[in-house]
Amino acid sequence: MKILVIGAGGREHALAWKFAQSRRIQVVYVAPGNGGTASDSRMENIDITDPESLAEFALKENIGITVVGPEAPLSNGIVDDFRAKGLKIFGPTKKAAQLEASKSFAKSFMVRHGIPTAAHETFTDATRAHQYITKKGGPLVVKADGLAAGKGVVVAMTTDEAHTAVDTMLTHNRFGNAGNRVVIEEYLEGEEVSFIVMVDGKNVLPLATSQDHKRLNDNDQGPNTGGMGAYSPARIVTPTLHSRILREIINPAVAGMAKDGIPYTGFLYAGLMIGADGKPRTLEFNCRMGDPETQPILARLRNDFVDVMEHAVGGTLDKVELQWDHRIALGVVLASEGYPDAPTTGHVISGIPKEGEDCVVFHAGTALAQKQFTTTGGRVLCVVGLSDTMRMAQKIAYEAIREIRFDGMQYRRDIGWRAARKPHQ
Ligand code: AMP
Ligand code: GLY
């Protein structure tokens, strides 16, 4: 079978890598792909990004299944376009993708269906938003309603910071339309977990759990980023908590979408905060897999991914039982100088180790030309180590990183710290 993966990041490299391991694969096309997908003989990059031309390509090449990595094409309706042409594609429709594309949609959806989340109010008027902040007091979280590439959330520890965020979004329009409306919500304390499932319209198939590291610097300091590292599984998610998340969050979300006449298909990613009381609350829904969570998750998946995807687009995910490598997979992101605000690019990368049993490097912002990898974006590589213990997985990933070089390379030295400091790991 021919598979098409849409996107260019580490997540898409991991998706293509997992597909390429299937015995049933002829070729995995990646649009537009990166240096990593360019260097793998089982994959082929295609330089197309507009949905119309992608659908034409899929028809012409007789693509069996298309999988979409990032949120932007999903919220622009690529799934609707492909389906209208009779093409098989895994992802949510434009309407269903609102769960990620509009925070106010997601919040009222959660309230309507009794899904636990932070208390909130939605504002389009700056004066009202300021009054609300003054009344409530800090800490508060201010979120631009629309997609803002991970930059639209301000965790304001003081009311001053919250006022500034409202000014940035509503008054100065820094996020354009995405910030014309803001959600202001209660600050939740606890430990974050990424809970990602596959949904075929009615059946839910949970993937392995994971934890991301959103802040740029060690000890969770510095600005929020797309994610600086992740590991799987998240030990905090005990079997009891796992069932509770399905019962209280995932199942009501999937049933709620169906009830609202917008059946959900695709990956569904619930960003959760687990409180000290053990209660899971939803911070956000994403309508895709996480990046970098996908890299450690798929590094542990044992099943043939083409088989799994066939069930996903065929509505038979209830027939699938996923098998996971028992080891812990830990991925460390190597980012460019200046990331996340203004990454510098165009630097030569050297020393990327060959894939081994316990280490695999996924590319994100890289290009390949004349047998040389160069940097093209903020997040450049994700180095995944696999081992029986968290400490060993860390050791493997960080030892591989020692060999890798590019100008201005920055990364966190403490990926996995929460789990590593706990006993019995
Ligand atoms: P979001 O895109 O909504 O997940 O927000 C990005 C990040 O901001 C999350 O991963 C959390 O670290 C943080 N965050 C979002 N909402 C809250 C909240 N209500 N309380 C505390 N932290 C939050
Ligand atoms: N790593 C967080 C995300 O993909 O949204």
- What digits encode the pLDDT tens for the residues 318-343? 999 999 999 999 999 999 999 999 99
Residue pair 207/180 in contact by the 8 Å Cβ criterion: no
pLDDT at 425 over 50: no
Q: Which residue's alpha carbon is nearest to atom 5 within ligand 1?
A: 153
* CATH 3.30.1490.20 domain locations along the chain: 125-180
Least confident of 36-45, 167-176, 317-326: 167-176
- What digits encode the pLDDT tens for the residues 84-110? 999 999 999 999 999 999 988 999 999
* CATH 3.90.600.10 domain locations along the chain: 328-420
Q: What is the CATH number of domain 2-92?
A: 3.40.50.20
- What digits encode the pLDDT tens for the residues 229-254? 999 999 999 999 999 999 999 999 99
Please state, in angstroms and rounded to a whole number, the distance separating the CA atoms of residues 179 and 152: 8
Across all residues in the chain, what is the average pLDDT? 95
Q: Look at residue 165 and give its three-state secondary structure.
A: helix
Which of 12, 293, 362, when mutated, tests ligand 2's pocket best, judged by the most ligand atoms within 8 Å of its CB?
293
Ligand 2 centroid distance, CA of 290 (Å) = 4
Please state, in angstroms and rounded to a whole number, the distance separating the CA atoms of residues 134 and 89: 47
Ligand 1 centroid distance, CA of 25 (Å) = 38
Class of domain 191-319: alpha beta
Paired sense of beta strands 191-200 and 182-186, if any: unpaired
Q: What is the CATH number of domain 125-180?
A: 3.30.1490.20
pLDDT of residue 256: 97
pTM for the predicted model, two decimal places: 0.95
Least confident of 13-27, 32-46, 141-155, 193-207: 141-155
Residue 185 CB less than 6 A away from ligand 1 = yes
Nearest atom of ligand 2 to the alpha carbon of 289 = 4
- What digits encode the pLDDT tens for the residues 363-373? 999 999 999 99
- The share of the chain scoring above pLDDT 70, in percent, equals 98
Q: Largest alpha-carbon pair distance within the chain?
A: 61
pLDDT at 410 over 90: yes
Instruction: Find the residues whose C-beta lies inside 6 A of ligand 2.
Output: 212, 226-227, 286, 290-291, 293
Which of 232, 291, 298, 333, when mutated, tests ligand 2's pocket best, judged by the most ligand atoms within 8 Å of its CB?
291
Class of domain 328-420: alpha beta
Average of per-residue pLDDT across 281-297: 97
Residue 176 neighbours by CB distance under 10 Å: 11
Confidence of residue 424 (pLDDT cuts 50, 70, 90): very low
Closest CA to 398 of 409, 414, 420: 414
Average of per-residue pLDDT across 137-152: 84
Between the two ends of the chain, the Cα-to-Cα distance in Å is 40
* CATH 3.30.470.20 domain locations along the chain: 191-319
pLDDT of residue 415: 97
Closest CA to 419 of 287, 237, 163: 237
Helix axes 126-136, 159-166, angle to 10 degrees: 170
- The two tokens of residue 212 are 């991301």
Residue 141 CB less than 6 A away from ligand 1 = yes
* CATH 3.40.50.20 domain locations along the chain: 2-92
Average of per-residue pLDDT across 273-277: 95
Confidence of residue 383 (pLDDT cuts 50, 70, 90): very high
